A and B are shown apart, each in its own frame.
Chain A
């Protein structure tokens, strides 16, 4: 396998529900990535596109829609869906295509227009689509799942409501310094603790909303392109994991879970991160900056444990002692996280990779981590989807 580098990235800043045509704002991200890499569209030899599930034809064939904007060249276009880890799948395919020598330069891309209001059922067929059952019978929007797990955590460890609020305080501080973020307001602990419960113990400001956004990453093994790039970033590993039998987590859309654990919690992310550590020879102790999926404050805490940055039940201590701040031992989510962006399903894993890339390239201004050499982007998708990308300069 060849060494593969990121040479260009582009984002359309995250925003609320948009009437903009999907292709138009998606093209902004790709245009930016091409400019950043300083290459022509014709250099792209494969397009790995994330599926945008609420977009009908445009969403399911987003790569074809994109290709036609920039000019069809006959290259392989693959459209992929892995829930909120969709971007992980697209970059992994782009990486594998280049690493294997099938192509020299490939594009990973995702753009998503979230529905107005809530994510909800995508079919009306309870026979084929189990997800319909939880909506029609269970009354269980996604945050319910996180609240059920968060309550278990608070019972088992000493996680407090203040810990959950502190996550939002930190994320809002960093988000306010990120031009790509949708939410720029900063919050105090009191303001977070005074926000209403959505599903207790989780409050309004402790859960990320849905957003619209687009992200594009160009990867290459072409030595000339690497040499002329503005600081190429090496992909040490980009992996995907699925769940493991006996994982006690109640997964979004499920109505049951095992009562006796036989696997780690969030086992899909355990799997993805351990594969990445093994493939790259890099461990959690080597990571200088981490982007993790803070869909809720509970995720922020549990992901530090799932990915091996501390032992089970110790994440709260890391947070309280400032270890996860910019300037701390392990800066976490200097982007402001999902808390400051909201979820744009097929694009969000890619912006996590882009934030890591920008950090390694020293482009993050006020939220820049000091001189990082190794970064990790970790995703989480419903029903057992996850991806890990480890990058270095």
Chain B
């Protein structure tokens, strides 16, 4: 993994790299078994006691369940220093957790995108903040 020092997520509690791999910060309800992303996007099964929700990290790798290529710049408050358009957006499935998560596709030939291909979680550098830190978001890239 590249040097992650001096990098900060634009919004906290979504993406983690403390384990040495970039992983999404999810939560699991131990009563109804549902995984949530973001953590606070609760989606309990009706009748669930909602007891025992714990923070978990999603696996580093998943499979591409859908994708699109965005051809025009996303309006503010989205912000990147470098022009990234056109960029891919993928829906990556984490099979055991029974959840699909959306994110920008980076560092991948967009023409090579195929349903079902293996993807890994990574980060995308968006811009440099006033503290000279690289502000990042989560993203996905094809496993090479």
- Chain A contact residues, CB within 8 Å of chain B: 117-118, 120-121, 124, 126, 130, 132-141, 144, 147-149, 151-152, 155, 196-202, 245-246, 250, 254-260
Type the 1/0 row for B37-53, where 1 means its CB is closer than 8 Å to any CB of A. 11011011110000000
Q: Give chain B nearest CB distance to A3 CB in angstroms.
A: 34
Query: Which residues of chain A are near B89, meaning CB under 8 Å?
Result: 138-140, 144, 147-148, 199
| In contact, A256 and B36 (Cβ under 8 angstroms) | yes
| In contact, B95 and A147 (Cβ under 8 angstroms) | no
Q: Give chain B nearest CB distance to A258 CB in angstroms.
A: 6
> For the complex, what is the distance from the CA of A151 to the CA of B43, rounded to whole Å?
25
Query: Which residues of chain B are near A258, meaning CB under 8 Å?
Result: 34, 43, 98-100
- Chain B contact residues, CB within 8 Å of chain A: 9-11, 14, 34-38, 40-41, 43-46, 65-72, 74-79, 84, 87, 89, 91, 93-95, 97-104, 115, 137-138
Besides the contacts A133-B14, A137-B137, A250-B91, what 13 more A-B pairs have beta carbons closer than 8 Å?
A120-B77, A135-B76, A135-B77, A137-B14, A139-B104, A144-B70, A148-B67, A151-B115, A198-B71, A199-B70, A200-B71, A202-B68, A256-B100
Query: Which residues of chain B are near A197, meaning CB under 8 Å?
Result: 69, 71
Assuming the A-B contacts A117-B75, A250-B102, A254-B41, are A136 and B66 also in contact, with contact meaning beta carbons closer than 8 angstroms in the complex? Answer: no
> For the complex, what is the distance from the CA of A148 to the CA of B104, rounded to whole Å?
12
Number of A-B pairs, beta carbon distance below 8 Å: 132
| In contact, A256 and B14 (Cβ under 8 angstroms) | no
> For the complex, what is the distance from the CA of A257 to the CA of B100, rounded to whole Å?
5
| In contact, B43 and A139 (Cβ under 8 angstroms) | no
> For the complex, what is the distance from the CA of A108 to the CA of B78, rounded to whole Å?
36
Assuming the A-B contacts A130-B38, A256-B99, are A136 and B43 also in contact, with contact meaning beta carbons closer than 8 angstroms in the complex? Answer: no
Most chain B CB inside 10 Å of its own CB: which residue of A155, A256, A260: A256
Query: Which residues of chain A are near B77, meaning CB under 8 Å?
Result: 120-121, 124, 132, 135-136
